[in-house]
Amino acid sequence: MESSNRNLKNEINEKLNDQVLRGALGRFAEAYPIARAKAYENVDDVEALREQFRQLKIQTVNNIEAVADQFETAVTKRGGKVFRAKDGDALKQYLLDLCKKANVKRIVKSKSMASEEIHLNHALEEAGLHVKETDLGEWIISLAGHKPSHMVMPAIHLNKEQIAEYFSKELQQEIPTDIPFMVQAARKALRTEFLQADMGISGANFGIAENGAIGLVTNEGNARLVTTLPRVHVVIIGYEKLIPTIQDAAPILRMLPRNATGQRMTSYMTMTTGQVPVMIKQDGKWVEQPKELHVILLDNGRLKAAKDPKFKEIYNCVRCASCLNVCPVYTIVGGHVYGHIYAGGIGAILTAFLHSMGDFDKINELCIGCRKCVTICPGKMNIPGLIEELRAQNVRENGLPFGVKAVVENVLANRKVFHTLLRLASIGQKPFQSGKLIRHLPLFLAGMAKDRSLPAVADVPFRDRVHKVTRQIASPKKRVAFFSGCNIDFIFPETGESVYKVLQDLDMEVVFPEDQSCCGKPVLGMGDRETAKRIARKNIEAFEQTNADVYLAACPTCTETWHETYLELFEDDAEWKPRVEKLAHKFREFSQFIAEEYQKSGRLNKGAGGVKVTYHDSCHMKRGLNIYEEPRQLLDAAQGYDFVEMKDCDKCCGMAGAFGVKYTELSMPILKQKVQNIKDSGAEVIAVGCPACMMQIQGGLDKQLPNVKIKHVADILAENIKNK
């Protein structure tokens, strides 16, 4: 595992230094959201369309065997043959036998990720067959000897100069870097391949059970030639591509082009079914001959996923790759760092089922958990949630690495030990500390503080300050139990003081359960749910004793963990489930709760302007808790501030817990983008609602934009109270 991690790090660094790749991905990441939004302008209700597709997929996967049977019957009725391949080896053997029987020597292919998944081309070429990719992107990477770096645009990592070089070598002539000329040269070179081919192999965007038809959505037209000219047509289709009726193709055709390439529709929409006659040349004459159609239904782990109550959700994937197009990690390093064929978060999940859990284990941490993919996926797949589920499954079966396990069980799960170590860290950091930050570290740790400063552990944690900031409220409107979380308790205790000040200004009694500890999210992120339960039980017991009207956190990650994850952890526990529900249903996030209270008391009127302030939406806040408007309402009402929006306000800052430390080389480019957007906004203050984001952005600002200050929303509200 250590060796594979080093290999991954090497691959990441190589891609980070590939300026062609970085430039191409950067330009595409900028252009894609605009193009997609424009393509959806004429769709009245995008969410309704997504839900229609999701329901279609749910119903289909719940009856996948019956749908597959109907599809096979329809294909057979129309003269085709269906083979159900258990895995890649079975598929390759069937094809090799077919090629031998049909005297196939030359094969043309239209892009099929399933064939890439099982390394089909290599097996065919080893058998002495001439195989030619005919999709322009696939042909380019075959010339380059590369794997696809994207599901829809496999050659996105190359520029026109590189492609012209590959073309010149293949075509044995000087090819200029003129794109239309290169396209025409490719067409001319491939035309002979189509005419001479004995077999055409295509994938399918969907297969229709009621009539046995397959649908192909393309922009080049080569798929039509592959499926019609050769005398043998082979379709490779995964079970997840099956749909019951032709009407079910409508939501796919409406969303796939829009999500994949930002088009309302592609250049070619092809449906083909059954045997059709084909013209072949015999003894110098063209004669008509029935065309052979073979449809291979590929399992390779798909049926196992279909039977799993949680992982059957992967059938919702339409292979549009929109999740890659908005992924902060993918858009920096591309697809090759993921090792296998499928990239991004969805790639990690598919790799687990279609390849191996060992390969999943190598790449799953590259999912930053920002959930941008969830908001854009046509099938509403919870990609980060499924990755966490796979991690948990992996830990149940194999356990955590010894060193990690020791830390989790003996430190994070033991409040007294954990907090004692944090107090010791506040002393041990002194030689490297400058104010509230650590700007430089020695030796092998130096890289961690190269482009960002690190937060220093507070000399006096919030739990030791509570008694100084607690006021007695004569007739409290509500009793609030405050969950500080690790960051506010030990890194930003002043923000905890601000929370108290704001709540007490609203005539609320605030209590701080001393036995509270980490919410358990870091442990959950590793997949260790049993230890997370131990932590959760202690927190639940501590808060039950408060008898509060409201349980509140100023950290969206902690809020979501209490609000949703604790419920999931104890959903099958008869004793703890009702106890969790009682607390979780009253657990609130600070800015949303305060906005409601300010609304009641008439405090949400626009405040007098002043210092420009912008706001960063944390991933857990906006896409986890769906809290977006409330922090802006509070900032807009704050006296002495003038609120302005910044570009990509909801794009991840690159922290993501342990990710920001373990993968500093990836975290930093994401952070730099965020800092640049803050600079471009002209704001003098960046407001946040998440202490983890506060740590990350504060560190970047200190090194790159020191004149801009970062403040939690609670700190800004507390300033207004102080100035009264």
Q: List alpha helices for 235-297, DSSP H.
A: 249-261
Q: What contacts 58, CB < 8 A, 6 or more positions away? A: 316
pTM: 0.90
Q: Are 646 and 680 in contact (CB under 8 A)?
A: yes
Closest CA to 669 of 331, 334, 442, 323: 331
Q: Is residue 613 part of a domain?
A: yes
Contacts 24+ apart (CB under 8 A), 344-349: 344/373, 345/373, 345/383, 345/384, 345/387, 346/314, 346/317, 346/373, 346/381, 346/383, 348/387, 348/390, 349/311, 349/314, 349/383, 349/386, 349/387, 349/390
What the block records as the tokens of 222 is 């080569």
What phi, psi does 195 have (nearest 5°)? -70, -30
> Which of 272, 298, 324 corresponds to the end of one domain?
298
Predicted pLDDT at 2: 44
Per run of 10 residues, the mean pLDDT along the chain (length 724 residues) is 64 91 91 94 93 96 97 95 96 97 95 88 95 91 89 90 92 91 90 92 96 92 90 96 96 94 89 73 72 94 93 93 93 87 88 85 90 95 94 89 84 86 84 79 62 86 95 94 95 96 97 94 91 94 95 96 93 94 95 96 85 96 96 94 96 89 91 96 97 94 94 95 61
- Domain CATH number, residue 139: 3.40.50.10420
265 falls within a domain = yes
Order of strands, sheet of 268-272, starting from the edge strand that comes earlier in the sequence = 242-243, 206-208, 214-218, 268-272
Residue indicated by tokens 């358990």: 520
Structural domain total, the chain: 2
Indicate whether 595 belongs to any domain. yes
For residue 21, give the 3-state DSSP assignment: helix
pLDDT on residue 169: 92
Residue 591 domain flag: yes
The position carrying tokens 């449906």 is: 271
Task: Catalogue the E-assigned strands of 193-348.
Answer: 199-202, 206-208, 214-218, 232-238, 242-243, 268-272, 277-282, 285-290, 292-298
Asked if the structure places residue 384 within a domain, the reply is no
Residue bearing tokens 């009726």: 245
DSSP state for residue 706 in the 8-state scheme: T
Tokens of 590: 């600070």
Of the three residues 298, 317, 347, the one that is the final residue of a domain is: 298
Q: 315 near 306, Cβ under 8 Å? A: yes
Cα dist. 476→553, 592, 720 in Å? 19, 20, 21
Q: What pLDDT score was predicted for residue 130?
A: 96
Sign of CA dihedral 83, 88, 94, 99: positive
Cβ-based neighbour number of residue 475 at 10 Å: 6
At 698, list the tokens.
């504060």
Listed residues 257, 281, 298: the one ending a domain: 298
Which residue type is seen at 677?
N
Residues 374 and 383: beta-carbon distance below 8 Å = yes
What is the side-by-side strand order in the sheet with 508-511? Answer: 508-511, 478-483, 550-553, 587-589
130-133 and 206-208: which strand pairing? unpaired
Residue 309 domain-assigned? no
Please say whether the beta carbons of 209 and 244 come within 8 A: yes
Residues 652, 653, 655, 661, CA torsion sign: positive
Q: What are phi and psi of 211, to 5 degrees?
A: -135, 0
Tell me, what's the pLDDT at 278? 63
- Alpha-carbon span 462 to 516, nearest angstrom: 12
Query: CA–CA separation, 650 vs 646, rounded Å?
Result: 9
Q: Kindly state the helix (H) or strand (E) to which residue 711 belongs, with its residue range.
A: strand 709-712
Of 207, 178, 271, 222, the closest CA to residue 64 belongs to 207
Closest-CA residue to 701 (of 674, 661, 720, 666): 674
From the list 185, 485, 421, 310, the residue with the least C-alpha distance to 175 is 185
- Count of Cβ atoms closer than 10 Å to residue 93 Cβ: 12
End-to-end Cα, the chain, rounded Å: 58
* Number of Cα atoms under 13 Å in the Cβ half of residue 676: 8
Residue 209 within a domain: yes
In whole angstroms, give the CA distance from residue 206 to residue 133: 20
| Distance set, CA 289 to CA 230, 231, 462, 709 (Å) | 11, 8, 83, 76
Residue 399 neighbours by CB distance under 10 Å:
12
Q: Domain range for residue 705?
A: 455-722
Round to whole Å and give the CA distance between 225 and 17: 39
646/643 Cα distance (integer angstroms):
10
With contact defined as beta carbons under 8 Å apart, do 415 and 538 qualify?
A: yes
Residue 625 lies in a domain: yes
Interhelix angle 590-600/629-637, nearest 10 degrees: 50
Question: What pLDDT shows up at residue 724?
Answer: 46
